[in-house]
Structure 1
Amino acid sequence: MSGKPHIVGISGSLRQGSLNTKLLLNAKEYLPEHYTFTLADISQLPHYNQDLEEDMPEAVLKLVELCKSADGFLISSPEYNWSIPGVLKNAFDWLSRQAVGTPLALKPAAIMGGTPGGFGTSRGQLHLREQLFALNLDTVNRPEVLVPQLHLKFDEEGQFTDEMGRKLLEQLMANFVQKVERNRQA
């Protein structure tokens, strides 16, 4: 495969100033310099409804094209009620459809997440991994990046400051890049 590797980031949080989006943007700093990165916008997707597939919504088509161009995905999500946010599940529902060509299938993905609480998305990531398995993504399994008390782990410039968290994030990204490179050579 030629061209620069393209990574698409997906945040499970729509909130302006989202801690998980900040974590995602910190993770992209561990990508090699020749990689490109695009943060997907899932905020405009309508609720999945099969009736809409006949005249596919523009926001869905835009996300599908972005995902088709990706060599891999970085996903950061908060945990809502022991699971993933509905907006993230909705995006996956749209991207899973045969009508759009399942643009995530067989591509590498690395996941991460954090919460203000003490468990750092441990339950939510179990559900996220199930979703990614159903979508046939090639998920990086280790290390797990589950950051508790995420709201206390950024400086004023938005830099992730947790020393152990940074080491885990760096290793996750190294493993992710290896998967992306292997997948591009296949």
Structure 2
Amino acid sequence: MTDVLVLVGSLRAASTNRQIAETAVALAPEGVTLTIHEGLADLPFYNEDVDVEGSVPQAVTDLRAALTAADAVLVVTPEHNGTVPAVLKNAIDWASRPYGAGSLNGTPLVVVGSAFGQYGGVWAQDDARKALGIAGANVLSDVTFAIPGSVVRFAELHPKDDAEVVEKLTAVLEGLVAATRAA
């Protein structure tokens, strides 16, 4: 069994990226379980003064434990002002500590997502890949998927009902699982 933790860079319940994450969960190949981590909204902003034994908030402990237990990570993110949403960057900061022994070390990871613009959030995805790689993840830079024009494209269509999304998301999951099993 392969366990994949899914981090969604949007807190909005009806966000397209949340819908894409839910679609990925439904598309999980046999022998693979995808679980969306629900605690990103509960993480306080990273503060090294708080990140000491006995003071680490429970939401941080939960995130770190979920990341450590996962065989792989799928990040699904929108783009906010041309870069990574604050909630996702904050989660990366917490996951990267303690330095050199963070909860992402060596974990195969893929970043995908959608945004309103014509490039589908590639700037945010590139920035997320960079930060996650520095945080220790084994970022699969050759497994990508950016969906442009999300507001229009998914105005009346759920991503699970979009044949291109299903096809490409299935390929992303196959690439992530293959990398996990090769590790």
Q: Do Structure 1 and Structure 2 share a fold, with TM-score over 0.5?
A: yes
Q: Mark the CA change 1:100 to 1:65 in structure 2 (over 3 Å): closer, same or farther.
A: farther
Shift of the 42–119 alpha-carbon distance from structure 1 to 2, 3 Å rule, reads same
Which runs of 5 or more residues in structure 2 are unaligned?
Answer: none
Contact 1:68/1:103 (<8 A) preserved: yes
Q: The residue matched to 2:5 in structure 1 has which SS? A: strand
Letter in structure 1 aligned against 2:51? E
Q: Which amino acid aligns with 1:22?
A: Q
State whether structure 2 residue 25 is matched by structure 1 residue 25.
Answer: no
How far did 1:19 drift? Answer: 0.9
Instruction: Give the whole-Å Cα distance in 2 for the aligned partners of 1:181 and 1:164.
Output: 26
Give the corresponding residue for 1:114.
114
Label 1:85 to 1:155 Cα distance change in 2 as closer, same or farther (>3 A): closer
- CA shift at 1:47, angstroms? 0.6
Q: Distance in 2 between matches of 1:173 and 1:132?
A: 18
CA deviation profile, 1:94-131 (whole Å, cap 9, x unmatched): 11111794111101111111012222001111111111
Q: What letter corresponds to residue 108 of structure 1 in structure 2?
A: P
**Distance change (3 Å), C-alpha of 1:181 and 1:155:** farther
Q: In angstroms, what is the RMSD of aligned CA positions?
A: 2.1
Distance in structure 2 (CA, Å) of the matches to 1:66 and 1:140: 20
CA distance in 2, matches of 1:144, 1:161: 20
Matched, 1:39 2:40: no
Any conservation in 2 of the 1:53–1:99 contact (CA below 8 Å)? Answer: no
Percent identity reads 28
For 2:21, the aligned partner's letter is: L
Length-normalised TM-score, structure 2 = 0.89
Query: How many residue pairs are counted as aligned between the two chains?
Result: 180
TM-score (norm 1): 0.88
